[in-house]
Structure 1
């Protein structure tokens, strides 16, 4: 419905029908010469009659070209119709009959020796056929031109909508742990924890990364790891050894590309949906396998959890679909939870 409404709105700016003047004149002269072929084939060929006949037919063709272009181009603000406008068709035919009648009278004045009745009938039939061909050709040309115009505009609107949706997706990547981080910082300051200054610096760096990266579609994985390390420092200060993290990504994998905050969101999901405690630490691993970066953790759901994938995973999947037309793989087993992210190589992306 959205695209249909937008398509209808595009009709207000419908492009004017344009035909080359050279094409109009050349085709008209050709039709004039073609109309004289039967006379050339006669035994008693009369050059004057053939010339007059060709000239009148060419003049009629030129007039009907421009008249039909005017008829089909006027009132561009009205709704477009895929079917033929019979009122315009009949109007064009009536105008053509009147013009051809006038030209037949001129022919009779120039060539007074010919029988006016049969000649008038012949030229009128010829005029109707020429007029119908011109009208149908211009009608199909206009429909094709308008369809191409609307298709291009809809593609542009679709791309604009996708870009807007993607910007909204990026805006969703906003850490939800600020409140908890500030509470942790308050507790560290009150107890005189020596790492309070480092905590403030890491928190500052994390939000600096947030502001710098949210404008980008892709960043290098090693930059994403800097964001993740700042996030992990803040979480370790909060949970005090309640989880472990291990990354074995190769230099090759670190040189690939990734949507900003992808790994951070996945690790945040691990911590959010699983028990994190000294008595039962959560183990999180990031590694490369079969052309994908894998984020893995053992499953130890919190009480009341219902295996919700949450907004974070949907956000990541939509971003990969937008950028690569591919989806991430989610393996939700009884003991292990994995998310596989397709590697994005820089030269492939360009």
Structure 2
């Protein structure tokens, strides 16, 4: 800025090198001082209220400071170099100073507004993420107590009947809830881990419904390291059981398979007749979770005989 501000002097062919250097030094020192004055006027260092308006007290203080500073610099240089008569060009220096001041202020103003906008966007993303996590956690909490109650009733019946699978049932129940405690804070887990705990979950359901539920896992081993939000498959299967008849006369078939790099959860439709219409809040919550974590949507295909949810894999 010191060099640019000296261009008018350079265009005067009779200007001396010393006069040119002094002129550049005045502009340089002024620009440096104004730069730091405006930097330390930002909210991090100042108590002046933040505003989105360009014309505000901060600008008024900066221009006033610049006018006084330029006057002091010109007087000092006049005292050091009296033969150049800098006082005769005080208006030119002040006009130049105001232009420099406005340029620096404008640059910092737009830079800071961009920073604020970016910071607000980040805060909104964090709030959205916390909100989704809370919703997802609430959804899991709705499923788990209900599932635990049914599992304990099943275990009670098995013990009373002296079922030889009682011990295995207890171990699978223990594994399932240990996994719940370990993974509930994670956003994504390998598909292999999700399927491992899902098998324990399905064993518990099979003990409860016996031949009334048929589970088919057709996931290739190549997808074991793909990532998925934890409890997604459990919630979808619980959703199948919630809305469909599960009985020995009408077995519920649930299939897992990969199609076009999407994990598909498919069940035959045999809807209960005495339940309220589904609001699909569980599916919507899972979809929002996918949008936040993977920026993708889940797919839903419903026909007269089947219901399929398609999950993107990372």
Tell me, yes or no, whether TM beats 0.5.
yes
Would the aligned equivalents of 1:169 and 1:319 in 2 still touch at CA under 8 Å?
no
**Aligned partner (choices 131, 141, 161) of residue 127 of structure 2:** 161
Residue of structure 1 in register with 2:2 after alignment: 28
**Match runs of 1:110-189 below 5 Å:** 110-111=82-83, 120-121=87-88, 123-165=89-131, 167-168=133-134, 171=137, 172-174=139-141, 175=144, 176-189=146-159
Deviation at 1:339, TM superposition (A): 0.6
Cα-to-partner distance string for 1:95-117 (whole Å, 9 max, x where unaligned): 2574377368648x933xx9x7x
CA contact (8 A) 1:274 1:301 kept: yes
1:57 aligns to 2:23 (yes or no)? yes
How far residue 127 of structure 1 moved from its aligned partner, in angstroms, is 0.9
Deviation at residue 82 of structure 1 after TM alignment: 3.5
The C-alpha deviation readout for 1:122-177, integer Å capped at 9, x for no partner, is x0232122212211111112113313432453354345435534543553434231
Among candidates 324, 342, 346, match of residue 294 of structure 2: 324
Q: Is the 8 A contact 1:56 1:103 kept in 2?
A: no
Q: Which runs of 5+ in 2 are unaligned?
A: none
Structure-2 change in CA distance of 1:190 and 1:76 (3 Å): same
- Which residue of structure 1 aligns with residue 267 of structure 2? 297
SS at match of 2:310: strand
Question: Aligned residue for 2:75?
Answer: 102
CA deviation map 1:209-268 (0-9, x unaligned): 222322433333332222222111211222232222222222234453322222221111
Aligned to 1:40: 14
TM-score normalised per structure 2:
0.81
Report the Cα offset of residue 37 of structure 1: 4.5
Which 10-residue stretch deviates more, 227-236 or 143-152?
Answer: 143-152
SS across alignment from 1:179 = helix
8 Å CA contact 2:67–2:97 kept in 1: the answer is no
Aligned length: 303
Q: Give the match for residue 313 of structure 1.
A: 283
Q: Structure 1: any 5+ residue segments left out of the alignment? A: 1-26, 42-46, 345-350
Instruction: Label 1:102 to 1:237 Cα distance change in 2 as closer, same or farther (>3 A).
Output: same
- Corresponding residue to 2:161 among 188, 191, 194: 191
CA gap 1:70/1:207 in 2 versus in 1, 3 angstroms: closer
CA deviation map 1:24-50 (0-9, x unaligned): xxx436745852652517xxxxx5xx7
- Using structure 1 for the length normalisation, give the TM-score: 0.73
Which has the larger Rg? 1
3-state SS of paired residue (2:164): coil
2:61 matched residue in structure 1: 88
Q: 1:184 to 1:138 in 2, by over 3 A?
A: same
Shift of residue 279 of structure 1? Answer: 2.0
Mark the CA change 1:243 to 1:88 in structure 2 (over 3 Å): closer, same or farther: same
Cα distance in 1 between the residues matched to 2:216 and 2:65: 80
RMSD between aligned residues: 3.2
CA distance 1:317–1:81, shift in 2 (3 Å): closer
Contact 2:2 2:24 in 1 (8 A): yes
Q: Which residue in 1 is equivalent to 2:244? A: 274
Q: Aligned residue for 1:288?
A: 258
1:269 Cα deviation (Å)? 0.8
Could you list the per-position Cα deviations for residues 286-333 of structure 1 after superposition, in whole angstroms to 9, with x for gaps in the alignment? 222222221111221112334415443223212221222111101233
Question: CA 1:54–1:256 in 2, change beyond 3 Å: closer, same or farther?
Answer: closer
Deviation at 1:334, TM superposition (A): 2.7
- On the 8 A contact 2:132/2:285 being kept in 1, the answer is no
Match runs of 1:224-239 below 5 Å: 224-239=194-209
